[in-house]
């Protein structure tokens, strides 16, 4: 059964994944942390923790709060910085079969460009995911993802700087995600990731203060799946480039829903926290479904759910 998927058909390197299940940024560290826990080589791909030019310590604690059907996080992009990434992590990735994609974040267009330039052509990196959607930092990131012109500007600037496949990860915290998606696709993105976390908060009533140190955070997990799914479905009607669905996926059925809505692949994040084997389970379940339902590959299923209202 062939469940491989090409996420950057227009790119000279392409981004061919052995299967459509990718570890979502920020929920799988640099991959190395999980190498002893699950057989990471069986994953479709890994997106590393959002990286900035300089190391960041992130936001004040508490930074993670469980909600009835999800998780609120306000990590604030704690990371080791791009130099340490290249020195310590990338050489390990270069020995892996599983494609690793680096999630990048800047406070200015120039910072995104510098990061893309530093990562371009480095062995062990299969693609760049441009994070214009982090809700947990004060400057940059989500600002770029909520304005079509700025989103397009970052995309084309990054594309000029690197030959690597470029995925742009959109924010759901907008009025019309299609408008941003169209702008980013026109600016040359190879692929879209839809979506990052939804901005939310929780209040500790005993202490009468916000439960998160940063007041607000990003909501992930099962609570956001129907929201993310509809965004994928909407954008899939609007752009020609591949889409990765992200938001609350925890079962093969969730992954299949994203694929039927028009996604070519899915990212799984929060589900890994409750079950480190979740992604492998999803891969097995997708394969089993395709076999049982008589599909020879994944292609036939992508966007098959583009239903009419009648």
Judged by the rule CB under 6 A, the positions of this chain that interact with ligand FMN are 24-27, 49-50, 71, 73, 75, 77, 103, 131, 134, 169, 196-197, 220-221, 224, 246-249, 267-271
**DSSP character for 31?**
S
Nearer to ligand FMN by Cβ, of 100 and 309: the residue is: 100
Query: Which segments within the chain are labelled E, that is strand?
Result: 5-6, 16-17, 21-23, 45-51, 64-67, 70-73, 100-104, 127-131, 166-169, 191-194, 198-201, 203-204, 209-210, 216-220, 243-246, 265-268
Nearer to ligand FMN by Cβ, of 161 and 254: the residue is: 254
Nearer to ligand FMN by Cβ, of 274 and 297: the residue is: 274
Nearer to ligand FMN by Cβ, of 146 and 196: the residue is: 196
Nearest-CB residue for ligand FMN: 26
Task: Give the nearest distance from C-beta 304 to ligand FMN in angstroms.
Answer: 22
What torsion, rounded to 10 degrees, do the Cα atoms 8, 9, 12, 18 define?
A: 60
Task: Give the nearest distance from C-beta 202 to ligand FMN in angstroms.
Answer: 14
Nearer to ligand FMN by Cβ, of 213 and 299: the residue is: 213
- Kindly state the helix (H) or strand (E) to which residue 273 belongs, with its residue range: helix 270-274
Whether 134 is catalytic is yes
Report residue 211 as tokens: 């439960």
Task: Give the nearest distance from C-beta 19 to ligand FMN in angstroms.
Answer: 17
Write down the number of H helices and E strands in the chain.
10, 16
Yes or no: say if 301 and 260 are a contact pair by the CB < 8 Å rule: yes
What torsion, rounded to 10 degrees, do the Cα atoms 124, 130, 134, 140 define?
A: 120
Catalytic residue among 17, 22, 90, 134: 134
Q: Which letter, b or e, does each residue of 167-200 get, where b requires 16 or more Cβ atoms within 10 Å of its Cβ?
A: bbbbbbbbeebbebbbbbbebbbbbbbbbbbbbb
- Cα separation, 153 vs 297, whole angstroms: 36
Catalytic residues: 134
């Amino acid at each position: 059964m062939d469940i491989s998927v090409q996420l950057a058909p227009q790119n000279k390197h392409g981004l061919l994944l052995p299967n459509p299940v990718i570890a979502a940024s920020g929920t799988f560290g640099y991959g190395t942390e999980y190498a002893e826990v699950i057989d990471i080589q069986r994953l479709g791909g890994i997106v590393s923790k959002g990286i900035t030019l300089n190391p960041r310590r992130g936001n004040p604690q508490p930074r993670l709060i469980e909600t009835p059907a999800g998780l609120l996080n306000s990590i604030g992009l704690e990371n080791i910085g791009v130099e340490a990434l290249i020195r310590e992590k990338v050489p390990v990735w270069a020995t892996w079969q599983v494609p690793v994609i680096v999630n990048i974040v800047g406070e200015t267009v120039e910072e995104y460009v510098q990061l893309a330039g530093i990562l371009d052509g480095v062995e062990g990196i299969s693609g760049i995911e441009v994070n214009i959607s982090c809700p947990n930092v004060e400057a940059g990131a989500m600002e770029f993802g909520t304005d079509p012109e700025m989103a397009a500007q970052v995309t084309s600037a990054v594309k000029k700087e690197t030959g690597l496949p470029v995925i742009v990860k959109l924010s759901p915290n907008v009025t019309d995600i299609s408008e941003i998606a169209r702008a980013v696709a026109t600016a040359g993105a190879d692929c879209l990731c839809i979506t990052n976390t939804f901005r939310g908060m929780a209040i500790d009533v005993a202490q009468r203060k916000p439960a998160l140190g940063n007041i607000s955070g990003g909501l992930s997990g099962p609570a956001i799946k129907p929201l993310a799914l509809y965004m994928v479905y909407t954008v899939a009607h609007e752009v020609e480039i591949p889409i990765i669905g992200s938001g609350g996926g925890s079962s093969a059925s969730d992954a299949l829903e994203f694929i039927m809505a028009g996604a070519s692949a899915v990212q799984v994040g929060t589900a890994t926290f409750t079950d480190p084997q979740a992604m492998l389970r999803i891969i097995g379940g997708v394969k089993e479904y395709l076999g049982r339902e008589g599909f020879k590959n994944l292609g036939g299923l992508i966007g098959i759910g583009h239903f009419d209202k009648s």
